Amino acid sequence: MAADTTLELARQLLGFNTINPPGDEADCMRFFAGWLSDHGFEVSLSSFGEGRSNLVARLPGNAPGRPLAFTGHLDTVPLGNASWQFDPFGSQIDGDRLYGRGSSDMKAAVAAFAVACVQHRQKILNGRGAVLLITGGEETGCDGARALIEAGDLPEIGALIVGEPTANYPVIGHKGALWLRCETRGKTAHGAMPELGINAIYLAADALGKIRHFSPGAPHPLMKQPTLNVGRIEGGLNINSVPDRTRFDVDIRSAPNLQHATIRERLGALLGENVTLTTLVDLPAVLSEERHAWIRQVYHRCQPLHDAPLTPRVVPYFTDASLLLPALGNPPCIILGPGEPSMAHQTDEYCLLSRLAEAEQLYAEIIQDWMD
C-alpha cells in the first residue's frame, strides 16, 4: 500500500511544470504543503519571489534529541532542444520506468521520504521528530535554500538526508561550485576602421587562451581533480562594428582542500587588468566524516541493495547541502535518492520504480533507527 502511495504522490508532483528558469514552484509547493498538512505535518510556506516558494514541514517528536531532516527541491531544469518520446509532465510508466522531468532529479525522492515519514508518523512523534526542507530554485544556484536561511526558518536538526539521484547508493559529499563572469571592455568603432577601436572579443580571446590551461588547485584524495569549464560567451552587437564588450562564464568545481577566494584571486591575477571578474555562484564543497556512527548505520542499511562492499563516494554536482549544512551547524549528511544519476537533466528522464520502492523502505529504516 505504501509503494502505491509513493508512486501516486510522485506522479502528482511530476504533473506540475516547475522548470527553472524561469522558476515557478509555487503551485506544486502549495499542493505538496496541503498533502503534508492532511497527513499530520506542521507546514510553513515562504515566498522568495513571484511564483517562487519554499516549504518547511515538521513532525515534532516527544523524545529528547534533535530531529532527522530530509531535503529536496521541486524545481527542474528545462526540457532541452531534443524531442521527448514521453510527455515530460505526464508521469507515464513504461515497464520499470517512471518518466517525467524531475523524476530522477528529484521529485520521486521527495515523494518517497514524505511517504516514509507518514507511514512511521507515530514512531516519529514518540521519537525525536522529523523535518522536511523543500526548496525551489536549487538548479540555478540554491536560490531557495539561500532564501530559507535568510528568512531564519531553519530548525535545529541532528542529521540531514539529501534525496538527490544516487541510485540508492549512500554518498558522503559533493564538489563545490564557483561560477564566475569574466568581462572585457573595449572601444567601439566602425568595422571598416577597426584601428580606431579596441576589440573586446580579441581581449576575451586572449583571456580564454590563458584560462584554458588554468588549474583551480591540487587534487583531493576523494574528489580528485578540480575542474574548469567555460560554458557561455557573448559579445558584440553587429558585424560591422568593433565590439566594446564581451563576457564569458566560467564553471569551476572544487573540493574541501581549495578556497574559492584563493581560486578567484589566482585567476584574476592570471587574466590581468583587462578582465573584470564577478561571482555568480559560490557554493562550498560538502564532505561528511565516513566513520561517523550515523553514516555507518546508513551504510549498513544500504549495503543489501548493492553487490560490492560500500566505499566512500562523492558526486560532482552540487546540492542545497552546500548552504544548508553550515546554516544548520554542520550535522552529518548523506546524499541518497532513488533517481538514476545518469538521467538527471536528460531527455526522457526517468526513475526506476524498483529504485523508488527501495528508497521508501530505506528511508523508513533510517527513520526507525533515528527514533530508537
Domain identity same for 26 and 59: yes
C-alpha cell, 259: 578556497
Quote the crossing angle between the two packed helices 108-119 and 2-14, to the nearest 10°: 140
If one counts every other C-beta atom within 10 angstroms of the C-beta of residue 328, the result is 23
- Beta-ladder partners of 134: 55, 72
Task: Give the CATH number for residue 29.
Answer: 3.40.630.10
Q: Quick one: 190 and 249 in the same domain?
A: yes
Tell me how far apart the alpha carbons of residues 66 and 362 are, in angstroms, rounded to a whole number.
20
Pick the catalytic residue from 24, 25, 75, 164. Answer: 75
Domain boundary among 283, 303, 334: 283
Beta bridge partners of residue 73, listed in sequence order? 135
The pLDDT of residue 1 is 35
- Percent of the chain residues topping a pLDDT of 90: 98
> Same domain for 204 and 167?
no
The CA distance from 350 to 31, in Å, is: 22
Instruction: For residue 207, give Cα distances in angstroms to 169, 196, 199.
Output: 41, 22, 13
Catalytic residue among 138, 143, 244, 360: 138
Alpha helices in 127-175 (DSSP H): 143-150
Per residue in 109-142, pLDDT (tens digit) is 999 999 999 999 999 999 999 999 999 999 999 9
Do 157 and 297 lie in a common domain? yes
Note whether 29 and 120 are same-domain residues: yes
User: Do 180 and 295 reside in the same domain of the chain?
Assistant: no
Higher pLDDT pick, 164 / 2: 164
Backbone angles phi, psi at 114, to 5 degrees: -65, -45
pLDDT band at 153 (very low <50, low <70, confident <90, very high): confident
Q: Are residues 195 and 157 in the same domain?
A: no
User: Is residue 331 within 8 Å of residue 119, measured between CB atoms?
Assistant: no
In this structure, the answer to whether residues 141 and 239 fall within a common structural domain is no
Grid cell at residue 156: 535545529
pLDDT digits (tens, 9 = 90+) for 32-72: 999 999 999 999 999 999 999 999 999 999 999 999 999 99
- Same domain? 197 vs 84: no
173-174/314-315 β-pairing? parallel
Catalytic site includes residue 75: yes
d(Cα 161, Cα 112) in Å, to the nearest integer?
12
pTM over 0.75: yes
Nearest-CA neighbor of 241 among 203, 187, 183?
187
What does pLDDT average to over the chain? 97
pLDDT (tens digit, 9 = 90+) per residue, 275-316? 999 999 999 999 999 999 999 999 999 999 999 999 999 998
Q: Are 337 and 170 in contact (CB under 8 A)?
A: no
Rounded to an integer, the average pLDDT of 240-256 is 97
User: Range of 145's domain?
Assistant: 2-174+285-371
* pLDDT above 90 for 327: yes
Over its C-alpha atoms, the chain yields an Rg (Å, rounded) of: 23
- Residue at a domain's end among 225, 255, 283: 283
Question: Does 2 have pLDDT greater than 60?
Answer: no
What single-letter amino acid sits at 296?
R
Residue 241 and residue 201 share a domain = yes
User: Tens digit of pLDDT for each residue in 160-173?
Assistant: 999 999 999 999 99
Of the chain, the percentage scoring pLDDT greater than 70 comes to: 99
Q: What is the DSSP string of 82-124?
A: SPPSS-TTS--EETTEEESTTIIIIIHHHHHHHHHHHHTHHHH
Q: Which three cell numbers stand for residue 276?
A: 573584470
**Do residue 278 and residue 345 come from a single domain?**
no
Q: Are residues 210 and 355 in the same domain?
A: no
| Overall domain count for the chain | 2
The last residue of one of the domains, among 228, 260, 283, is 283
